[in-house]
Structure 1
Amino acid sequence: MSRTAAALSRAAGRGDGSVIGGWIGLKIDPDLLAHLASGRAIALVSGTNGKTTTTRLTAAAVGVLGRVATNSFGANMPTGHTSALAKAGSTPYAVLEVDEHYLAQVLEATEPRVVALLNLSRDQLDRAKEVAMMAQLWRAALVRHPSIRVIANADDPMVVWAATPPATRSPQVAPAPVIWFSAGQRWHDDSWVCPECGSPIERMADQWWCTGCWLRRPEPQWVVEDDGVVDPAGDWHKVVLQLPGRVNLGNAATALAVAAEFGVRPTDAVSRLGGVASVAGRYAQVAKDGRTVRLLLAKNPASWLEAFDMAEEAPTLLSINARDPDGLDTSWLFDVDFAPLRGRQVLITGDRAYDLAVRLDVNGVPFQHVRTFTEAITSVPPGRLEVIANYTAFQDIRAELDRVN
């Protein structure tokens, strides 16, 4: 029945069917996700940003071993996980993106072999939990599952604290050692205060430490270096990606680290990573009327900072909505520094374009307001057009591109 509902959803144009089937299935059997997960070696990927891309890269890397079930469209709550596993049928492996708020619940249901923790930062202020609270929830969940291998970002103090076993844990329960990767952290504004003791966190070069307690950056076993990744044995592997930006090298390092826990050698996995060109429409490049349009998704201050790093020096369209999937509060725009856009042609659109206009004006970035994507196309010269948009604005532009092509 759940597969039928998903197919009907797709046929009716109401979605890709990655949620409705799981919703119906869980209504019939609340333990369906646990049943579907049983017998599979599973990896979970969670964090504020980069989940979908890292999951896609990890599924490609683990795919060296055989068929992998995954929620490739980003449906990252239990309904989406249930749909993905049901649709995949019998597979020995699964790599699942997990919304950070649901990580504890999904850990309980799936009993994964590995969980990868990417980052924690502010997100959707009107409904998302405060960052330190999210770290506390992660830490409490991991304490209840000491045998799960944790792969965590050494550069994010909140993640390090969440992944480090508390000193109060019973010595009879020996946790699996944490594997640390270094993916960098450009956004620091949510990790200036230590979650353990409340003291300031200091930074110098690639190191960070709390000024009042034990918390500090651990030594990573997987490190991004130049245009490749160094593994725990000290071997360097060149990584050639179709995906832009240094942040995706960090995502690739995470994928290699997770795949290694399944027994995949980095030398066998790296070529698989280069086959990933688009992730649920993100990074897709479309030719239209002499313009090459690239779509980048950005949903919170940290991801906008990374999007500016990925975007080339070219005309850039920014689009902001504030519908339910986006979060209704746009005040986060004032946490984003739009200065990197100075000197290029900037266009704005979307339901909340005027909120964006105020922010750009404060930041001294000239802009032009356009009402449609077609108007944006005609407003820029032939060549590249970078598009940066939040959730529903991104989907609106994808739909408009589909209509005009």
Structure 2
Amino acid sequence: MAGNSDPLTPRAKLAVTAGKAVAAASRAAGRGSGSVIGGRVALKLDPDLLARLAQHLDVTLVSATNGKTTTTRLIAEALKAAGPVVSNALGANMPAGITSALAGGAEAKFGVIEVDEKYLVGVAQATDPKCIALLNLSRDQLDRAAETRMLAENWREGLSGSKAVIVANADDPLVVWAASSSPNVLWVAAGQMWKDDAWSCPSCGGVMQRPGDDWFCGECGFRRPTPSWALSGDHVLDPHGSAWPIHLQLPGRANKANAASSAAVAAVFGVPPQVALERMYQVQAVAGRYDVVQFEGRDLRLLLAKNPAGWLETFSLIDPPPTPVILSVNARGADGTDTSWLWDVDYTRLTGHPICVIGDRKLDLAVRLEVANQQFQVCDNLDQAVQLCPPGRIEVIANYTAFQDLRRRVGN
């Protein structure tokens, strides 16, 4: 292995080879990328494989409820300025998928790894990261995800005393509380549009005060830290007070926030903000998200939104009325089977848009839209919904498995 004085053991090499073979067989059978099943097989053969594969890399871990995949991609693009990067760019973010990704990175210098929130602590222990980016925490997959404060507590305990530089969002009280146990934190003012999971103090349970963009607990004194990096309009402010312009092909305020956090991470590895931000412009779409595809004579923009915070950010970036909007919601395993989160989304933001509703749980969504006084039509499938829309742009918003269904249908 390049640059590694401690090559992989014979067992580890066998595990990597077997994992790649299984992944290739899975791809050949048309069952997806094969990265997860390949990683599972490899870890069965060598349970310490993830740690062995990470030992020659400068690792960055990225975790959050929303924005992990995009931020991972932006950081990876920025760090390519300093050397070869290996990353789990397709979003397989549990140990098996991460192991598969790193198995292809023998020549890499940097590992930029998206990690599911529940697995962050274990992956951090295995990979000894130099940097960990914590972006946000909000409700998601209600049937199987721990309550958000419990997740923050898991991070806080698991990252306590970590040697990694923690790049954390100063505007999310749950993230601040989780990161505060670490000795080396870079605070980024990345903003927080969705505040409904952080009205009680994670430290003492008191009521949070939120004047303007600030926040603090009136009971225990837990408060927003002073950021050293900040998103300010279309610029990133660095710790020296210099403003660097953000030029992205990705839309919306949330992606500017992701770019601000990514610039802070890149600086940890010596990549200057100007270089990092210029490189981020290369990213046009992330695993199909934000892609515009031609379908049935229309231009469909594919937008992924998995939970209330994600839907709120997505509504803020769609074209104004009367642009048609197609909404698709499933409730399969990867989505979480509990759709009660739909009642937390403010659908009045879609007033004036013609709306078509599809997906496995289209009737759940229809009831919610009716209560929100929206004009909509329930359709059997994407083709029918698209035909009800005039030629031109259509915004298509879907949760996780619904988004995968859409990509397959439009050949993306």
Paired residue for 1:269? 276
How many Å apart are 1:18 and its aligned residue? 2.1
Compute the displacement of 1:11 (Å): 1.8
* CA deviations over 1:18-50 (Å, ceiling 9, x no partner): 211111100000000000000110000001111
Q: Equivalent residue for 1:12?
A: 29
Distance 1:161 1:3 in 2: 40
Q: Which residue of 2 aligns with 1:150?
A: 166
C-alpha contact (below 8 Å) 2:161/2:183 kept by paired residues:
no
Measured in 2, the distance between the counterparts of 1:215 and 1:59 equals 33
Deviation at 1:66, TM superposition (A): 1.5
Shift of 1:144: 4.7
Give 2:263's aligned amino acid. Answer: L
Q: Distance in 1 between matches of 2:28 and 2:291?
A: 24
User: 2 CA distance for matches of 1:176 and 1:273?
Assistant: 29
Report the Cα distance in structure 1 between the residues aligned to 2:86 and 2:24, rounded to whole angstroms.
18
Which residue number corresponds to residue 401 of structure 1?
Answer: 410
Using the alignment, how far apart are the partners of 2:30 and 2:350 within structure 1?
A: 36
8 Å contact from structure 2 (residues 171, 192) kept in 1: yes
More displaced, 106-115 or 8-17? 8-17
Counterpart residue number, 2:12: none
Deviations 1:274-311 (A, max 9, x none): 11011011111112233111111111111111111121
Aligned to 2:82: 65
Q: Deviations over 1:346-381 (max 9, x none)?
A: 000000000000000001111011111111221111
| CA–CA distance in structure 2, aligned partners of residues 383 and 222 of structure 1 | 39
Q: Which residue is equivalent to 1:199?
A: 206
Identify the residue that residue 382 of structure 1 maps to in structure 2: 391
Asked whether the equivalents of residues 18 and 73 of structure 1 are also in contact (C-alpha less than 8 Å), the reply is no
Give distance in 2, aligned partners of 1:315 and 1:88. 43
Q: Percent identity?
A: 54
- Please tell me whether residue 221 in structure 1 is matched to residue 228 in structure 2: yes
Counterparts of 1:104-143 in structure 2, within 5 Å, are: 104-143=121-160
1:11 & 1:204 partners in 2: Cα distance? 56
Aligned to 1:183: 190
The alignment covers a number of residue pairs equal to 393
1:163 aligns with 2:179: yes
- Structure 1 residue 289 corresponds to structure 2 residue 296: yes
Match of 1:97 among 98, 111, 114: 114
CA distance in 1, matches of 2:153, 2:342: 26
**Cα shift readout 1:50-100 (whole Å, capped 9, x = no counterpart):** 100100001011111111010001000110110000022221101000000
Question: Are the counterparts in 1 of residues 334 and 401 from structure 2 also a CA contact under 8 Å?
Answer: yes
CA distance in 1, matches of 2:161, 2:121: 9
1:305 equivalent in structure 2 = 312
What residue is the counterpart of 2:101 in the other structure?
84
Distance in 2 between residues matched to 1:331 and 1:361, nearest whole Å: 15
After TM superposition, the runs of 4+ consecutive aligned structure 1 residues lying more than 4 A away are none
Q: Equivalents in 2 of 1:133, 1:7: separation in Å?
A: 38
Counterpart in the other structure of 1:278 = 285
Residues 6 and 18, structure 1, Cα contact 8 Å, conserved in 2: yes
Corresponding residue SS for 1:181: strand
> What is the alpha-carbon distance in structure 1 between the residues aligned to residue 253 and residue 236 of structure 2?
12
Give the C-alpha shift of residue 322 in structure 1. Answer: 0.6
Does structure 2 retain, via aligned residues, the 8 Å contact 1:284–1:295? yes
State the alpha-carbon separation in 2 of the partners of residues 259 and 199 from structure 1. 36
Structure 1 partner of 2:264: 257
Indicate if the aligned counterparts of 1:3 and 1:87 stay in contact, CA closer than 8 A. Answer: no
Once residues 316 and 76 of structure 2 are traced to their aligned partners in structure 1, the CA distance between those partners, rounded to angstroms, is 25
Q: Which amino acid aligns with 2:247?
A: V
Shift of 1:271: 1.1
TM-score, length of structure 2 as denominator length: 0.94
Identify unmatched segments of 5+ residues in structure 2.
1-17
Map Cα deviations across residues 182-233 of structure 1 (whole Å, 9 max, x no partner). Answer: 1110111110000111110011111011111121111111111121111111
Deviations, residues 165-191 of structure 1 (Å, cap 9, x unaligned) = 2xxxxxxxxx54210011110111110
Moved more, 65-74 or 371-380: 371-380
Task: List runs of 5+ in structure 1 lacking aligned partners.
Answer: 166-174
Looking at structure 1, the residues matched to 171 and 392 of structure 2 have their Cα atoms a distance apart, in angstroms, of 37
Secondary structure of the 2:210 match is strand
Does residue 392 in structure 1 map to residue 409 in structure 2? no
Q: Distance in 2 between matches of 1:22 and 1:87?
A: 11
Q: 2 CA distance for matches of 1:18 and 1:277? A: 23
Q: Secondary structure at the match of 1:253?
A: helix
SS in structure 2 of the partner of residue 326 of structure 1: coil
- Structure 1 length as normaliser, TM-score? 0.95
For 1:81 and 1:298, how far apart are their aligned partners in 2? 23
Q: CA RMSD in A?
A: 1.0
Counterpart for residue 332 of structure 2: 323
SS at match of 1:325: coil
Quick check: 1:298–1:390 contact (8 Å CA) kept in 2?
Answer: yes
Partner of 2:15: none
Aligned equivalents of 1:10, 1:240: Cα separation in 2 = 36
On the 8 A contact 2:249/2:283 being kept in 1, the answer is yes
3-state SS, counterpart of residue 258 of structure 1: helix
* Contact 2:164–2:184 (8 Å) recurs in 1: no
